[in-house]
Amino acid sequence: MRIESPAFRDGDRIPVEHTVDGADAPVPLLFHDVPEAAEALALVVHDPDVPRDRRPDGNFDHWVVWNIPPAHPGTSGIPDHPAVVGRTTRGTNTWIGPAPPPGDGPHRYYFTLYALDRTLDLPDTAGRGELESAMEGHVLDRAVLMGRFQRD
């Protein structure tokens, strides 16, 4: 399984239009080679480079989505529906674009896609921790795309 974006390549800079300094538009994503047995997909976008004085665990969840319908065969991305968008670190149910502190250096943003053997029965108040617990024992495959962003 693979995840990619037409906006940037793995390891490259995320374009400003997908950050809070631009339009804060969600990053477009493409999913390839999803296992035939997948009943649902889940996606977590997080930044593990948050300064410890701002967040003791150093993490910020920018997007938490599950029950994304898998496309067989071919390529898909995040549909407008019926996927469930869970809670971000900010407590919202939306995409939050990269916004590292100015001068903090580049932050890494991991887009992790999971193929699951079932749909998940979680309320939209769930965040990454609840999602990861619910996925235990149900992950068929996993793919990661990493982008970087830095404010000057």
Higher pLDDT, 19 or 75: 19
Q: Looking at domain 2-149, which of 3.90.950.20, 3.90.280.10, 3.90.1170.10, 3.40.50.980 is its CATH number?
A: 3.90.280.10
CA–CA separation, 50 vs 57, rounded Å?
8
The pLDDT of residue 103 is: 87
Q: Which pLDDT band holds residue 26 (cuts at 50, 70, 90)?
A: very high
Q: What SS3 class is residue 141?
A: strand
Q: What are residue 149's DSSP bridge partners? A: 107
Please compute the mean of the pLDDT values over residues 105-119 and round it to a whole number.
97
Model confidence pLDDT, tens digit, residues 131-148: 999 999 999 999 999 999
> Could you tell me how far CA 28 lies from the centroid of its own chain?
11
Model confidence pLDDT, tens digit, residues 37-50: 999 999 999 999 99
Asked whether the beta carbons of 39 and 67 are under 8 A apart, the reply is no
Q: Please work out, in degrees rounded to the nearest 5, the angle formed at the alpha carbon of residue 32 by the alpha carbons of 28 and 70.
A: 85
The pLDDT of residue 21 is: 95
Asked whether the beta carbons of 88 and 94 are under 8 A apart, the reply is yes
The pLDDT of residue 72 is: 55
CA distances from 47 to 96, 104, 118 (A): 11, 13, 27
Q: Where are the domains positioned within the chain? A: 2-149
CA–CA separation, 90 vs 74, rounded Å?
34
Q: DSSP for 35-71, please give it.
A: -TT-SEEEEEEEES---TTT-TT--EEEEEEEEEPP-
